[in-house]
Amino acid sequence: MDYSAITVTVSDDIVVVAMNRPDKMNALNALMRAELTHAFKDAPNHGRVVVLTGTGRAFCSGQDLGMGEATKLDLERVLRDEYVPMLRAIIDCPLPTIAAVNGPAAGAGANLALVCDVVLASHDAYFVQAFARIGLIPDAGGTWFLPRQIGLARAMGAALFTDKIMATQAADWGMIYAAIPADGFDAHWRDRAAQLAQGPTETYRHIKHAMRASFDNGIDAQLNLEAKLQGKCGQTRDFREGVVAFAEKRPPKFEGR
């Protein structure tokens, strides 16, 4: 598929998906949402880890408001028919997903980052739940992810006051995994992506499954799920390689299965 609102590059099993509307601070329009949906569904055919980032100075400024055209949209339809498939494509991606937040992440753009498995942000980046500024509630998964990541009190304050949350504060709150100095940010997320691209891909898929299921399971159900998934991991080539490499005191060479 040819893309115009995003770019997709693949190198060393790392699929980099970059939102590519820098003149609009990578604001989300219908085309970008469709292309992101396709790119994440297609990523397992090309690599072993996916990185979502932005082109230019911003990560993503949220919904493209289009000089007031947004007031003519059926927002319920847009969310159900365009946002939900995009978010599900990211959530359901069997590969590890990294959001490399290179700059401002606002509104749906902030929550798009939080949907990924790991969020790394430059010190120059910030997150803002800007929705109430224009009379809307947080969407793109914000009302689900934020309370679970930073607690109800902070999530409520972020949504009501619409304050900027700088990357370092987001890391302190547990909203993201790490805030990285700007001058080394690109190298850092590439190193982290390379680490995952060389890891046990099938194991990562089961980790994602177990972690997300824990929010709905009681302890007994979760322990049973752990046992089931660990049994599957124990049958993989990567487990056998990991054990042999440990015994031989060398780094493992995982095949991803």
Written as six digits, the tokens of 58 are: 């911003």
How many residues are listed for the chain in this entry?
257
What is d(CA 96, CA 2) in angstroms, rounded to the nearest whole number?
Answer: 24
pLDDT, tens digit (0-9, with 9 covering 90-100), for 19-36: 999 999 999 999 999 999
Q: Which domains does the chain have, with CATH numbers?
A: 6-197 (3.90.226.10), 201-247 (1.10.12)
Is the pTM here over 0.85, yes or no?
yes
Beta strand 14-19 with 6-11 is antiparallel
State how far the Cα of 158 lies from the Cα of 142, in Å rounded to an integer. Answer: 11
Residues 6+ apart with CB under 8 A from 13: 47, 48, 49, 197, 198
Rounded to whole angstroms, the Cα distance separating 138 from 155 reads: 10
74 or 142: which carries more pLDDT confidence?
142
Structure tokens at 62: 């949220």
Confidence of residue 2 (pLDDT cuts 50, 70, 90): confident
pLDDT (average), residues 36-63: 97
Give me the mean pLDDT over the 218-233 stretch.
96
